[in-house]
Structure 1
């Protein structure tokens, strides 16, 4: 299982209705067939992140499908511009010592230059 965890904070000028729409957009992404489980909602950490997104993806083939889902890319273009900060981490119970490199290959193959630029405009993703 590959678990992708995002912590994020909306920009101050994003109102509650926009926040709720954004959460619906990422919930739609988390509802694709490639996702085994998800949890999306408030984040209770001590830092200034306010929300979190967590999806469990069964394996690399499912990760590749998840990344290539049109709803994923479309959703990011609606969601990412509303953020002030974003932190990502991936964890896995897969013992493959090359898994991190394989995940990077999946990401590099699926994320086109325009999509990458979207994240670059946000700034450093921790």
Structure 2
């Protein structure tokens, strides 16, 4: 029996992605870069690069010397995060077609979170 297909797309539909791999590491990122790019908390999970099929014109932005962020130039949807030295790509959980079957495992970069909200869901937190 094969895994179900996880599918997602940007707001305008120009970029679509899918995987049959089980997404891993579902997290909510509170770092200042994710907050600035997404307008809040960015939730994502990842799969190996070879297990993620992306169609459409992804624009990549080098946000730091260690990683880049992929987005749609037409609608602005922030869809992907890719570390230069890893063989995985993270994708936006908010862009997925429901139901996802994914549960958040952790909050990351909580030391950098905005001062306008509290994290009170009982999920593990990492500085």
- TM-score range (shorter-chain normalised) is under 0.3
- Considering fraction of residues, name the structure with more strand: 2
Q: Which has the higher contact order (CA 8 A, sep 6+)?
A: 1
Structure number with the higher helix fraction is: 1
